[in-house]
């Protein structure tokens, strides 16, 4: 005998599961009830797992996804930044290897007159989390009250912090469930998870960085485009100016994957240097955010060149208890991977590097696992670069040297040295724009 909750409940979870299992369309009332009932723990984890799998296999239409997103938003509070003295814009990335873009982007956009309320998350699996990266800065704290967040946005113009427990609590339960039931890749659930938090956050402009390639959740451009279109539709329907950029994640972004390593690279970008692909994507996203907020006449490249973005970075870090001048953590042990022959680096796979960084301690397998601030992978060459036999290709960093063996296993077949003619044609950093 099964029980789905008190007799006063409006629907039966099993009926809803069957409807989606049989490729039916869920009504607005069914969706509102099942999300609310799951949040109240009336619908059991195993029932929501079955429904999530049915959604993964059979999909949802635009109306269903919109209703699901609205139900997630309704499970918690909504924020309102209309009282700020400047417009707001936010960015969300679907996650990748070496994707430290939020770190230079938030202060850069703030330096151009648009406030950035960046509610970020932690890493899971091979993709790094923005909060984990910033916690490599001594003293920096991720948890801010709403009052602290508003005050910092008004004073500094940028904040990167953890989302409060009141923002889309249904998503927190469902996200954890999806991660352990093989349903992370369900596009309706990815889109509603991301957009419920971003719409509830209350930003006026949202720019989405949808990754595509081996190191991304979306491996093909078709899947990435579908996800991007779905999220843009959700944002537009909710009255948020929403644009998506499809960006390449077949090769790691920049020259570092890890926490403290990526902070150091971000500071280099803010100082006017850094890898060209990181700078290009940071500026592309900044221009979209500024244009959406009515500041398209401002060139963010100027704020990188004249030091204004760096000034905001230092103030943003200090406002959250961090010391922008403190040295970043350094790993106790390193291991160098060298080029096997003379030639050209023809391939460097993002997933292989991401998994290696994860196994070195930069990421976590479960949400409660700790991460190492200094662990990760430093890259000394990118595809197309000439290399000599014995030259360092990668340096692995960790505080636990017994992790090297499994990290090296992850890298097997993940890079290749050959002739210039064998170099895989590099994808553009920005592949497409969807609005």
Alpha-carbon distance 258 to 136, whole Å? 10
Alpha-carbon distance 8 to 362, whole Å? 47
Helices (H) and strands (E) in the chain, counts: 16, 13
Alpha-carbon distance 121 to 129, whole Å? 6
User: Please, where are the H alpha helices in 40-164?
Assistant: 45-58, 62-74, 102-111, 130-134, 146-155
134 backbone dihedrals φ, ψ, rounded to 5°: -70, -25
Instruction: Name the residue with tokens 């409006």.
Output: 10
Alpha-carbon distance 312 to 323, whole Å? 13
Tell me which H or E stretch contains 289.
helix 276-292
Alpha-carbon distance 308 to 271, whole Å? 10
Helix (H, G, I), strand (E, B) or coil at 338: strand
Alpha-carbon distance 105 to 303, whole Å? 11
What does the chain come to in residues? 435
Q: What is the DSSP string of 237-258?
A: HTT-EEEEEEEE-SS-STTEEE
- The Cα diameter of the chain in Å comes to 73
Q: Are 398 and 360 in contact (CB under 8 A)?
A: yes
Which residues contact residue 426 at a Cβ distance below 8 angstroms, ignoring those fewer than 6 apart?
251, 383, 384
Residue 159: name the closest of 141, 136, 139 by CA.
141
Q: Are 124 and 358 in contact (CB under 8 A)?
A: no
Which residues are tagged catalytic? 92, 171, 178, 193, 197
Tell me which H or E stretch contains 300.
helix 300-305
Report CA 171 to chain centroid distance, whole Å: 16
């Amino acid at each position: 005998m099964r029980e789905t909750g008190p007799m006063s409940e409006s629907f039966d979870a099993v009926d809803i599961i069957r409807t989606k299992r049989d490729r039916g369309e869920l009504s607005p009332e069914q969706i509102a009830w099942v999300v609310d009932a799951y949040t109240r723990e009336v619908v059991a984890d195993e029932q929501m797992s079955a429904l999530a799998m049915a959604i993964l296999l059979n999909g949802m239409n635009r109306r269903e996804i919109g209703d699901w997103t609205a139900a997630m938003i309704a499970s918690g509070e909504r924020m309102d930044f209309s009282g700020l003295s400047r417009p707001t814009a936010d960015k969300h990335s679907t996650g990748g290897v070496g994707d430290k873009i939020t770190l230079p982007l938030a202060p850069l956009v703030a330096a151009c007159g648009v406030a950035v309320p960046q509610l970020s998350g932690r890493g899971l699996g091979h993709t790094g989390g923005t909060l984990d990266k910033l916690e490599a800065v001594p003293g920096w704290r991720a948890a801010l009250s709403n009052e602290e967040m508003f005050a910092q946005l008004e004073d500094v113009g940028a904040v990167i912090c953890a989302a409060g427990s009141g923002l889309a609590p249904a998503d927190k339960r469902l996200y954890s469930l999806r991660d352990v039931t093989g349903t992370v890749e369900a596009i309706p659930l990815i889109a509603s998870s991301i957009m419920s938090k971003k719409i509830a956050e209350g930003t006026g402009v949202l720019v989405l960085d949808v990754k595509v390639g081996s190191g991304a959740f979306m491996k093909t451009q078709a899947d990435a485009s579908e996800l991007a279109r779905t999220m843009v539709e959700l944002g537009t329907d909710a009255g948020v100016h929403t644009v998506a950029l499809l960006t390449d994640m077949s090769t790691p972004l920049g020259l570092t994957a890890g926490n403290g390593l990526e902070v150091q690279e971000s500071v280099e970008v803010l100082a006017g240097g850094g890898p060209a692909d990181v700078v290009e994507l940071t500026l592309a996203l900044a221009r979209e955010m500024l244009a959406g907020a009515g500041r398209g006449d401002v060139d963010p490249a100027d704020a990188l060149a004249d030091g204004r973005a760096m000034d905001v970075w230092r103030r943003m870090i200090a406002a959250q208890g961090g010391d922008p001048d403190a040295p970043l953590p350094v790993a106790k042990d390193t291991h160098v991977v060298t080029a096997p022959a003379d030639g050209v680096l023809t391939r460097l796979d993002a997933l292989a590097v991401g998994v290696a960084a994860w196994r070195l301690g930069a990421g976590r397998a479960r949400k409660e696992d700790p991460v190492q601030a200094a662990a990760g992978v430093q890259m000394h060459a990118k595809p197309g670069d000439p290399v000599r036999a014995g030259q360092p290709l990668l340096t692995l960093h960790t505080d636990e040297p017994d992790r090297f063996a499994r990290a090296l296993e992850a890298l097997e077949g993940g890079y290749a040295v050959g002739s210039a003619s064998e170099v895989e044609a590099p994808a553009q950093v920005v592949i497409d724009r969807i609005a």
